[in-house]
Amino acid sequence: MNKILLIIMISFMFSQEDCQDDRYLNEIFDIEVEYEVQYGQNINQTILGSEYTENLYMDIYSPINDSFDDRPIIFFMFGGSYVGGSKSSPDIVALCTKFAQRGYVAVAIDYRLSQHLLFFNPTEENGYKAVVKAIHDLKAAIRYFRMNDELYNDYKVDMNRVFSGGYSAGAVTAINAAYLNEYEEVPSFLIDDYDSIGGLEGLSGNPGYDSSFHGIVNLSGAVGNRDWIVQGDIPIVSMHGDQDDVVPYDDSLITLFGLNVAVDGSLIIHETMLELGNYSSLHTYFNEGHGPYTDMNFEAEFSSNFLYDIVCAGSDYIIGDINNDTLVNVLDVVFLVNFILGVSNPDFNQFEAGDINEDQNLNVQDAILLINLILNS
């Protein structure tokens, strides 16, 4: 280590030229919508169990008169307990509209529903199968845009700034798409059939392209198991009512349709993320249930403020300058130690400035490296 490191700028894969004039924070654009774009297809079942091929469609919301060619993109998925709902759900339309007005390309996707599995045989296994089907469809939609970006660039998106989220079942899908990402995590009762349906990626279309994304917007969702969350996992911003009796706020059971599936809700996700040194934020609607959302104004503002640090990170801070005063000194050590001990929580830029060994975790190794930086300067 030497003092040259003190002036190395964190260099992400994207430029920050577009993070100007309230873009990504305020609604500054008119928008246009391209409806019913097919992004894939896969086998599904009717409510009576007959198989058929289902075409999968999405609506794409884009800013009008936008001069930038590399806009972040966000995918939103509707709720409906995997038995109902659509991409034209008013809450999803509102979220897509508000994010496109902020300068994102926002995508509302339809995904395969599972009435046959959940109405007639509501087991834990079938509950997971319904989630996995939706995960596979989401990943196909993301791959569609990576394919388009490589071949045509029709939508002028930056596929290094990809986000996903939704409400209820849509949030459950996005969360588990991110954190259920290793074969070792797949529940044992799914393993026998997992390869036949495409494994972690699925068979819903656009193979050969990456399906990863970089952050989650969670409205009343849950993860199947908190242990699936590990150090370095992608950031999540959550909003949830603490009296939710559909998708638990904490660790409890989903009992809809007679299911008894244990999950970990937004509170547990948030606490787990912070314990691991990952980036997370949670807004709790106290004494509210499953759907405390009205016009999505607050939800869009809260989540876009959180994502702004990720979308616009990396432009003007120095490794080790955790308090962002352009100096690297003992004050930064104090900030870092407080983050490590959980006394306070870093924002995204502070996290990146403090993660000196780039292992996506703030720990004593970073503190040692920071002290060495100061002593060697």
Provide the pLDDT for residue 16. Answer: 54
Per-residue tokens: 8: 């190395």
Q: Which domain holds residue 352?
A: 1-12+318-377
Task: Return the CATH number at 276.
Answer: 3.40.50.1820
Do 267 and 220 share a structural domain?
yes
Do 336 and 286 share a structural domain?
no
Domain end residue (candidates: 289, 311, 333): 311
Question: How many other CB atoms sit within 10 Å of the CB of residue 359?
Answer: 13
User: What is the C-alpha to C-alpha distance for residues 108 and 337, in angstroms, rounded to an integer?
Assistant: 41
Do 230 and 193 share a structural domain?
yes
What is the domain count for the chain?
2
Do 348 and 207 share a structural domain?
no
Provide the pLDDT for residue 112. Answer: 98
Do 89 and 8 share a structural domain?
no
Provide the pLDDT for residue 1. Answer: 31
Do 91 and 153 share a structural domain?
yes
Domain end residue (candidates: 263, 278, 311): 311
Do 362 and 300 share a structural domain?
no
3-state secondary structure of 43: strand
Do 269 and 217 share a structural domain?
yes
Do 326 and 227 share a structural domain?
no
Q: Are strands 216-219 and 157-167 parallel, antiparallel or unpaired?
A: parallel
Do 370 and 351 share a structural domain?
yes
Amino acid at 260: N
Domain end residue (candidates: 311, 334, 349): 311
pLDDT of the chain, 377 residues: tens digit per residue: 333 333 333 333 444 567 877 899 999 999 999 999 999 999 999 999 999 999 999 999 999 999 999 999 999 999 999 999 999 999 999 999 999 999 999 999 999 999 998 998 999 999 999 999 999 999 999 999 999 999 999 999 999 999 999 999 999 999 999 999 999 999 999 998 888 999 999 999 999 999 999 999 999 999 999 999 998 899 999 999 999 999 999 999 999 888 999 999 999 999 999 999 899 999 999 999 999 999 999 999 999 999 998 998 754 557 899 988 878 999 999 999 999 998 888 887 788 888 888 777 889 999 999 999 888 86
Do 332 and 272 share a structural domain?
no
Provide the pLDDT for residue 2. Answer: 35
Task: Return the CATH number at 323.
Answer: 1.10.1330.10
pTM for the predicted model, two decimal places: 0.85
Provide the pLDDT for residue 314. Answer: 56
Do 201 and 187 share a structural domain?
yes
Nearest to 109 by CA among 44, 42, 165: 165
Question: How many other CB atoms sit within 10 Å of the CB of residue 224?
Answer: 22
User: What is the C-alpha to C-alpha distance for residues 124 and 187, in angstroms, rounded to an integer?
Assistant: 10
Q: Are strands 71-77 and 157-167 parallel, antiparallel or unpaired?
A: parallel
User: What is the C-alpha to C-alpha distance for residues 35 and 86, in angstroms, rounded to an integer?
Assistant: 13
Question: How many other CB atoms sit within 10 Å of the CB of residue 169?
Answer: 28
Tokens 């911003």: give the residue: 237
